[in-house]
Structure 1
Amino acid sequence: MRQRVVRVALTAVLVALVLLAVPLALAIRSSLYADQRDALERAALAAAVRVNPDYLQGDPAELPTAASGQRLGLYDPQLRLRAGTGPQSGGDVVRRALAGKVTRSSAGGELVAAVPVAHAEQVIGVVRASSAVAQVRGRVFAGWAALVGVAVVALTVAVLVARRQARALAVPLEDLSRHCRAVAEGDLAARAAPSTIIEIDQVARTHNDMLHSLSELLRRERDFTANASHQLRTPLTGLQLTLEAGLAQDDARPVLEEALAATRRLHETVEEVLRLSSSAGLPRRTALDRPVGELLARAEKRWHALLAKDGRRLELAVQDVPDDVRIPGGPATEILGVLLDNARAHGRGTVRVAVRDLDDALAFDVADEGAVDGDGVRLFERGYSGGGPGAAGIGLAFARDC
């Protein structure tokens, strides 16, 4: 890309230089030739005013000293050289000047200006001034050389500016390309840095927004997988215990009913995990569809056997909470389930669940006789656990998100 930008810039500069330099070169040539003819005419006029009319009677005619590279000559009406330097015969240019007009011409490799000498309203001679064309041509070539030098300097500056601009354009795009390559290799934390070019910054911001959305999508998928595996573990364990207990009974109906209830709980858990995953980052509204008493009854039925299997007790208490108070059944069930599962897995002794009325909210207190290890502030961070080996650090984070 850098070479392409430089080539485009150089092409534009070259076209501009050609369009400017060719007319300017022609103007330099025309101007230098015109200046030389003007100088010859001025020299001839200055000499003409000093010519003594008596030169025709044989008096000597004196002409001023010619400038370097110029020749001055005085010609009589018969086109003969009477004073100064020049060809012996005046030729056509002198003949035309005898008509009373200042004449200019280029002939024989010379620039010529002829000025008539008048006396008593009659032309009595002609002063002829001339210089070599090669002299003017040398100045033209010098002017053209200066013009070429300026063009070369302009082209050099254009190359430097083009390379700098090409680098300014290419570096952000190359950086964006590196970030895209890093993303393709799995580094979703890569972010494109801002530049000084608005359009490229817009692309970079869009790229970063896309990465943020993609990272958020992948995070939600990972969280869904982790939440599902974590939340389904306990219901599956309960279902397994129910089925194992049913193997020793002749009447399988109660066992099947319990297993059916366990599958309903599994379904509710999956629905809650899906709801939480699909609404991540969005405000959620949940229906107040379950009385507190029913929630506690279900919790006791579900967790009593699991805790009893470990030789532990479950106690539930409601403190000044009306029976008709309703709460969001799905989230509350999952939150209470996480707290009870933590108490079973990481606590000791009797597990006590108390529900308290806080006027504008309900508080669920889950306590056991164990101790909390680790940083209590960070316990609700995903991936952090104070439960020792085997703890995933998912449950409390899931409960917080519910």
Structure 2
Amino acid sequence: MRVAVVAVLVALLLLATPLALGIQTSFFADERDELERVALAAAVHVPPFVVGGHVELPAHERGVDVGVYDLSGRRRDGSGPRRADATAREARKGIVVRGHVGHQLVVAVPLSTQEQVIGTVRASSGTAGVWHRVVLAWLGLAGLALVALATAIVVARRQARTLSAPLEALSAKAGAVADGDFTARAEGSAIAEIDQVARTQNTMVDHLTRWLEHERHFTSNASHQLRTPLAGLQLGLEAAAGDPDADPRAALTEALDQARHLQRTVDEVLRLARATPRPAVPTTARPAAEVAEGVERRWHGRFAAAGRRLGLVAEPGGEGLRIPDRTAEQILDVLLDNALRHGRGAVRITVRELGGATAVDVSDEGSPALDRRTLFQRGATTSPAGRGIGLTLARELAETAGGRLTLARSNPTIFTLLLPVAEPPPSHE
């Protein structure tokens, strides 16, 4: 608003200053023209006179001094100085002379007869009256300028509000985001530049939200995947330490296998955290049956301790297909952990070939408590001990490897993991 008001003030100053000077010049020029008209009218009506003759002037308006002077400079009739001043003497040359004497405007015209100058007619008036009219005109001009300035202030306030309102709203949304409300989104406005800033801020908040969510998911994924292997490693070491007859070499070998599995788990979770939206196939691959056998061997003791049976079936044609081993291990760990915690009865892992892809089924004799729409949603769980992370993580892992994890059947429960067949490693001759 200050910018607009200053601009209007500068414009009014640049416009009013020459206009005020023009009014002053015009009023004084009009007054001189009027004096010249009065002097000429008097010169026309004054009869020829001789030295010592009587001269009579026609009537003229009040406030104007009109005098007739002979060639000697003596005033013969009218009002004005008794002797002709410089302006009146200059008019003897037969020209109209305009001058300024003190606070008076003076106009002198020659008085002639038979083409011979016999005297001069002098008309004068005070400048006070002219200045009075000039000041009145200036006051009127100042009033118009004030009206224009007031109008400009009103318009500037409206424009300033139009500009500041969306900026204030944008600032409020930015403050809400800074306070942790990542659902705050800036609204559009009628001003293209501010609207562009709002869209840019919304895009930035969307990216920040995704990044923070990605970080939170990474933390929860890592804790979920590492919890079970760490617990197994701890139990194995505690059992070996508590049994004086236990073979320490076997305990160390098992601990080393668990540590390697933990390393692969960390690598896979980190790979998922860095994964782009497009599928990223891991670099290592092994036969599907070999991967499933390693997973079954790791989980067999836990199912046996729970009084449940865990089996592995590799159908012909599917056992030799190569799949992303680390991704498949993590997904199968999640499915077996889910079956152990929430399933019932015997659990079976089936490896088969399905339309050029590798299908790995994990089935048990129970049925899921959640429906298909919420089963894979993060945080969806019916158990107080569960956090609803495992199945969501397993599906994300499958998608980053270019595969798919689905609930093939609800009763009994069958989860099917489809993975693309990896290319065999190049042979070295």
Superposition TM-score, scaled by structure 2 size: 0.81
Aligned-residue offset at 1:76: 3.2
Partners of 2:137 and 2:100 lie apart in 1 by: 21
Q: Match for residue 301 of structure 1? A: 297
Which string of whole-angstrom CA distances, capped at 9 and with x for unpartnered residues, describes residues 47-79 of structure 1?
Answer: 33333335778576453x434643444333344
Assess if the C-alpha contact under 8 Å between 1:356 and 1:364 holds in 2: yes
Q: Give the direction of change, closer, same or farther, for the CA distance of 1:101–1:342 in structure 2 (3 Å limit).
A: same
1:34 aligns with 2:34: no
2:94: which partner in 1?
Answer: 100
Give the length in aligned residue pairs: 395
Q: Does 1:230 align with 2:224?
A: yes
Counterpart residue type for residue 32 of structure 2: R
TM-score by length of 1: 0.86
Helix, strand or coil at the partner of 2:89: helix
Which residue among 40, 48, 55 is the counterpart of 2:43? 48
SS in 2 for 1:53: coil
Whether the 8 Å contact between 2:319 and 2:351 is mirrored in structure 1 is no
Determine if the alignment matches structure 1 residue 218 to structure 2 residue 212.
Answer: yes
Q: Secondary structure at the match of 2:93?
A: coil
Cα distance change, pair 351–137 in 1 and its aligned pair in 2 (3 A): same
Equivalent positions of 1:5-24 (< 5 A) are 6=2, 9-24=4-19
**Preserved CA contact (<8 Å) 2:289 2:351:** no
Please provide the CA RMSD for this pair: 3.0
The one-letter amino acid paired with 2:39 is A
Q: Distance in 1 between matches of 2:62 and 2:325?
A: 114
Q: How far off its partner does 1:255 sit?
A: 3.1
Conserved 8 A contact 2:281-2:324: no
Letter of the structure 1 residue corresponding to residue 95 of structure 2: K
Partners of 1:20 and 1:301 in 2: how far apart? 95
- Distance in 2, matches of 1:59 and 1:321, equals 148
Contact (CA 8 Å) 1:220, 1:280: kept in 2 or not? no
Shift of 1:138: 0.4
Q: 2:70 — aligned with what?
A: 76
What's the secondary structure of 2:41's corresponding residue? helix
Q: Aligned match of 1:389 in 384, 389, 392?
A: 384
Q: Give the 3 Å change call, closer, same or farther, for CA 288–326 of structure 1 in structure 2.
A: farther
Q: CA deviation at 1:224?
A: 1.4
* Contact 1:321 1:355 (8 Å CA) reproduced: no
Alignment partners' CA distance in 1, 2:282 and 2:112: 119
Equivalent residue, structure 2, for 1:126: 120
Distance of 1:62 and 1:72 partners within structure 2: 8
Residue of structure 1 in register with 2:427 after alignment: none
Task: State which of 115, 131, 135 in structure 2 corresponds to 1:137.
Answer: 131
Q: Residues 145-164 of structure 1 correspond to what in structure 2 (within 5 A)? A: 145-164=139-158
Q: C-alpha separation between the residues in 2 aligned to 1:397 and 1:68?
A: 107
Q: CA deviation at 1:153?
A: 3.0
How far is the alpha carbon of 1:270 from its aligned partner? 1.1
Change over 3 Å in CA distance of 1:280–1:392 after alignment to 2: farther
Identify unmatched segments of 5+ residues in structure 1: none
Determine the C-alpha separation between the residues in 2 that align with 1:101 and 1:346.
124
CA distance in 2, matches of 1:381, 1:323: 31
Structure 2 vs 1, CA of residues 55 and 346 (structure 1 numbering), >3 Å: closer, same or farther?
A: farther
Q: State the match for 1:330 in structure 2.
A: 326
Q: Give 2:356's aligned residue.
A: 360
Contact 2:318 2:358 in 1 (8 A): no
Q: Counterpart of 2:395?
A: 400
